């Protein structure tokens, strides 16, 4: 009887030990998955930030990452987890935006995105002469107020730029100015911390606030 009771006690202890190792392994796996999700979200945000900066450069209205040296992407905004800095360098034929941040393990990461350089010093095209067969587009300034993910730090709009107007616990608000042909379609995007939280929308250029 004593031997049977002793064997049962050892069996229970072994079972508890195996269970403890199993729980520990699950906790480590969960932690690794969370870190991986955070790193993926940071990489997606860095990509969106670089693409937005390139689009602003193409429109000759650079706001994001306009410095030649690394500087905070949004110095007026407090980022609770990851602080992104970025810069823009001009080559002979290309414009390169570099974004730098630290991943969940504290390692420094850098992402670079390049596109053909836009000559913003060139004079605008001359208007068509009276009687010309080429129509002159009637462009105007349309101001949009849009909203998106509360953690969003950048937004873009067709033929213009967006600036952050405020945020609360539910959403962020953006003022977007677009100079497009009257009656044309204006598309805008507010980039969330993760790509699946991006907010998209469109409006018609109407020469005024909306």
d(CA 191, CA 23): 37
Average the pLDDT over 176-188 and give the result: 83
Among 118, 152, 178, the domain boundary falls at 118
pLDDT tens digit sequence for 36-56: 888 888 888 888 888 888 887
CB 85 within 8 A of CB 102: no
- The pTM score is 0.52
Identify the pLDDT of residue 79.
43
Residues sharing a CB contact under 8 Å with residue 1, sequence separation 6 or more, in sequence order: none
CB 158 within 8 A of CB 187: yes
pLDDT tens digit sequence for 6-43: 557 887 888 888 888 888 888 888 777 777 888 888 88
In a domain, residue 150? The reply is yes
Among 118, 149, 178, the domain boundary falls at 118
Same domain for 109 and 150: no
Same domain for 160 and 103: no
Judge whether residue 81 has pLDDT over 50: no
Same domain for 85 and 156: no
Categorize the per-residue pLDDT at 133 as very low, low, confident or very high, splitting at 50, 70 and 90: low
Same domain for 203 and 168: yes
d(CA 36, CA 103): 10
Domain span holding position 199: 137-210
Categorize the per-residue pLDDT at 126 as very low, low, confident or very high, splitting at 50, 70 and 90: low
Identify the pLDDT of residue 125.
52
Compute the residue count for the chain: 210
């Amino acid at each position: 009887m004593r031997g049977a009771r002793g064997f049962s006690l050892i069996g229970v202890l072994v079972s508890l030990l195996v269970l403890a190792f199993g729980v520990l392994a699950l906790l480590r796996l969960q932690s690794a998955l969370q870190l991986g999700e955070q790193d993926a979200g940071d990489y997606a945000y860095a990509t969106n930030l670089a693409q937005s900066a390139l689009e602003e450069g193409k429109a000759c209205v650079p706001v994001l990452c306009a410095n030649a040296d690394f500087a905070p992407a949004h110095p007026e905004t407090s980022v609770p987890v990851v602080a992104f800095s970025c810069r823009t360098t001009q080559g002979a034929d290309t414009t390169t935006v570099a974004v730098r941040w630290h991943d969940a393990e504290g390692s420094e990461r850098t992402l670079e995105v390049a596109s053909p350089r836009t000559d913003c010093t060139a004079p605008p095209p001359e208007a068509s002469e009276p009687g010309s067969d080429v129509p002159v587009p009637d462009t105007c300034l349309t101001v949009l107020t849009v909203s998106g993910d509360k953690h969003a730090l950048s937004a873009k709009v067709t033929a213009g730029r967006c600036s952050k107007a405020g945020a609360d616990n539910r959403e962020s608000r953006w003022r977007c100015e677009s100079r497009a042909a009257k009656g044309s379609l204006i598309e805008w995007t507010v980039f969330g911390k993760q790509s699946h939280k991006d907010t998209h929308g469109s409006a018609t250029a109407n020469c005024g606030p909306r």
